[in-house]
Amino acid sequence: MQHSENIGRIVGVGGNLVTVEFDLPVVQNEVAYVRLEEQGRHVGLKAEVIRVRGRYADVQVFEATHGLCVGDKVIFTGELLSVELGPGLLGQVFDGLQNPLDAIAAEHGFFLARGSYYRPLDAQRRWDFTPCTRPGERLRAGMPVGHVPEAIFRHAIMVPYGLKGWGTVVSLAEAGPCTIDDVVAVVLDEDRREHEIRLTQQWPVKIPVTAYAERLRPTQPMTTKIRIIDTYNPVALGGVYCIPGPFGAGKTVLQQITSRHADVDVVVVAACGERAGEVVETIRTFPELEDPRTGRSLMERTIIICNTSSMPVASREASVYTAVTMAEHYRQMGLKVLLLADSTSRWAQALREMSGRLEEIPGEEAFPAYLESVVAAFYERGGVVRLHTGETGSVTIGGTVSPAGGNFEEPVTQATLKVVGAFLGLSRARSDARRYPAIDPLGSWSHYDGVVDVAQVAAARQLLTQGFEVKQMMQVVGDEGTSLEDYLLYLKAEFLDAVYLQQDAYDPVDGATDADRQRRVFSLVSGILAMDFAMQDKDSAKRFFLSLTQTFLDFNRVPMDDPGFEQAERAIRTRCQEAARDA
């Protein structure tokens, strides 16, 4: 806790909202510590200024506030709510305030006393620093002066993001081991002020990192190896997308599969209010998962921000901003970063709770009237950027939404839909039918380009829609009241759904399909869908497609480099051509 001469006094306490009277100026998002005597020791509860009214400031306390009284002291630090950025973040599990949970558990057990805050990075660890510039060179904010090895990457040690204009390197450390607090360079700015550069830097979480040359339009697909995403509802590197769906429809599982197979360098998982059981499963699973890129633990290139539903509500808001700030930091190194926020609904619920305590005019369903702008500001921090070094980096943001009862018309889902570029809506009906992934192929959409030809996808989507309409009609009139032509449309749509839109997550081949295989297999499927199978009757048509579906599912489990792949592909094509000729 940092000391300050700006000391205020509590005049009101309502839950985790504390009203403070102050004498010296305070600013929005400033960090304050509420003084409290507990178990014979003086502690400070961390808080953030969220509203200033004349001589009074409303602060949200990130911990339980029982025991606070009117007249207790509040120390304003003069610093904004920030995170520490530097080597050692990868592989860590933090809470919403960037406390290192693994280190705390190892030292103090699983129960953290109120007012206990720990440095997120190990100050004793030594890193091998290698300079990449020289004294006299002019640099801008975000440009590297050197790097240290971190996992499979080179972690850039950059000019502080807050530097204005150009700076000149005055001194530079030689290559060798150093701690995160050692000064490795000194830069002189345009106002002739010196800035010491260490391996770490502080940055406010509510302010986007903009130390880049240009913001670019997301155009390159982010291959997730999930066919219904990459082909039907693609996500771009640097794009933003949402996964709304009812509870139990598979949002968390889909995020875990995406984080493992997506074509990205770094994964940041923000568990902002999810149930503790799901977060514990994530923390236990990730270290055991094998990274397909390196063959090592997936956790080595993952950061988990853990703020479960059993943790203080106020920290949920901090957790999403902590996560996106870390993601922007690694983007500044030219890396591709994927940020998964689970679940933004509970983040919005925290906003609603604080808005109610502030007695603000409520919007729809008591959410704050500014919900849309807050959601938009968060997702806008994703994107592709061109750095001052000429490299490009990206932050792709995927947020899950948990609407009550699966109602996509509720405010959080609607606010999210207005800013995202892809909508991957999960269906309760598909989930109950054990169709994985449970993404609704008809209700979902994307504005990004995928890995497969757009015309082929459009034709398949149209056939899928027609088949669904026939299926709805069949539920009323039965098979007997359906024409053979319509019945074939239904069978083709079911075939497409079964062999392409669904995947076997337990199979090492079918569970993750790369872009080349998707293009080749979808071309084969499109050719089959375009064939004219004028079967004699519905029974023969049904038998043919059931047999073909099973053959294709077996084909999906054959690796592309296996000699049996091309043989199976030719056999399927020949079989369908013969059926079309016979018809």
The pair of structure tokens assigned to 104 is: 């705390």
Q: Is 552 annotated as a binding residue?
A: no
SS3 label, residue 356: helix
Secondary structure (DSSP) of 246-311:
-TTSSHHHHHHHHHHHSS-SEEEEEEES--HHHHHHHHHHGGGSBPTTTSSBGGGGEEEEEE-TTS
Are 291 and 297 in contact by the 8 Å Cβ rule? The answer is yes
In DSSP notation, 412-475 reads HHHHHHTT-SEE--B-HHHHHTT-SS-B-TTT-EESS--SS-HHHHHHHHHHHHHHHHHHHHHH
Q: Are 354 and 280 in contact (CB under 8 A)?
A: no
Structure tokens, 87: 């080597």
| DSSP three-state, residue 179 | coil
**Residue 135 known to bind ligand:** no
The answer to whether 71 is a known ligand-binding residue is no
Sign of CA dihedral 236, 241, 245, 250: positive
Q: How far is CA 552 from the centre of its chain?
A: 33
Task: Consult the annotation and say whether 248 binds a ligand.
Answer: yes
Q: In angstroms, what is the C-alpha Rg of the chain?
A: 27
12 assigned binding-site residue: no
Question: How would you class 355 by CB atoms within 10 Å of its CB: exposed for 0-12, middle for 13-18, buried for 19 or more?
Answer: buried
Bridge partners of 265, per DSSP, are none
Q: Token digits for 245?
A: 């769906």
175 annotated as ligand-binding: no
Residue 225 marked as a ligand binder = no
10 Å Cβ neighbour count for 429? 11
DSSP, collapsed to helix, strand or coil, labels residue 555 as helix
Residue 521 host element (H or E): helix 515-530
Residue 246 is assigned to a ligand binding site: yes
Q: Which residues are annotated as a binding site for ATP?
A: 245-252
Q: Which residues are annotated as a binding site?
A: 245-252
